[in-house]
Amino acid sequence: MKHPARPLREPSNLDRILAEADRALRTVFAPAETPDRANPGAALLRVALNDADRQHVAGLMRINHAGEVCAQALYYGQAAVARDAQIRAHLIHAAREEGDHLAWCEARLHELGSHPSVLNPLWYAGAFTIGASAGLIGDRLSLGFVVETERQVESHLGEHLTRLPAGDERTRAILQQMQSDEIAHGAAAQERGALPLPWPLPLPAHVNVALTSASAST
């Protein structure tokens, strides 16, 4: 005689805390998960860079990798406290795409013979706290935070694209796809009813970039 299946237990607060702690440890210390999408630069010719250009591009990609660590933390922090199930699903979907960016940046760093920032645990902890705090205020304001963050990241990536050495199409393809995704994330959040952030919450883009620029040499 078959016994009736037990109903699935709703995760407790402790379950959720442990799950987020596990995610944080894997994001910061483990190799990036296999991306859902192919690396945009993988099929392009690998051009040999001189030492100065290689170190320069590695510094840029270390910053971008740190930014993607922050993106994981921000989105999952917001999703952890989202009230609306559809908004939570939207945030998690965006986080998955940011996970692709993380893997692409990590792969390019390895190609350049470099490494991620040693400050990534600090970036993750701070960004998760900011994301969860924004989410606790309300879902629509949380979406407004997404719009503002993605606007800043789009601008930041555009500035990095202008600083790449001529011929480095592998890095260029990665950054261009990342920029396109950030624009789409911001637009999707806007369509879902994002509220404009009240002053002084929208930090100027250069402040946001300055926070991660410390990763360039660490």
Question: Does a structural domain hold residue 36?
Answer: no
What does pTM read for this prediction?
Answer: 0.88
Provide the sign of the torsion angle of the four alpha carbons 98, 100, 102, 108, taken in this order.
Answer: negative
What pLDDT score does 204 carry?
A: 45
What pLDDT score does 202 carry?
A: 57
pLDDT in tens, 64-96: 999 999 999 999 999 999 999 999 999 999 999
Cβ burial of 63 (10 Å; 0-12, 13-18, 19+) is: buried
Segments forming the whole domain that contains residue 88 = 46-217
Q: State the Cα–Cα distance between residues 17 and 213, nearest whole angstrom.
A: 30
Cβ burial of 91 (10 Å; 0-12, 13-18, 19+) is: buried
pLDDT 10s digit of each residue in the chain, 218 long?
555 556 566 677 777 888 888 999 999 989 999 999 999 999 998 889 999 999 999 999 999 999 999 999 999 999 999 999 999 999 999 999 999 999 999 999 999 999 999 999 999 999 999 899 989 999 999 999 899 999 999 999 999 999 999 999 999 999 999 999 999 999 999 999 999 887 666 554 444 555 555 555 67
Cβ neighbour number for residue 88 with a 10 Å cutoff? 17
Question: Does a structural domain hold residue 80?
Answer: yes
**Total structural domains within the chain:** 1
Question: Does a structural domain hold residue 67?
Answer: yes
Question: Does a structural domain hold residue 25?
Answer: no
Question: Does a structural domain hold residue 5?
Answer: no
What pLDDT score does 14 carry?
A: 76
- Residue 213 is part of a domain; what is its CATH number? 1.20.1260.10
Question: Does a structural domain hold residue 101?
Answer: yes
What pLDDT score does 18 carry?
A: 85
Provide the sign of the torsion angle of the four alpha carbons 49, 51, 56, 57, taken in this order.
Answer: positive
Question: Does a structural domain hold residue 123?
Answer: yes
Question: Among residues 91, 100, 81, which one has the least CA distance to residue 40?
Answer: 100
Question: Does a structural domain hold residue 17?
Answer: no
Cβ burial of 153 (10 Å; 0-12, 13-18, 19+) is: buried
Say if CB 17 and CB 77 are below 8 A apart. Answer: no
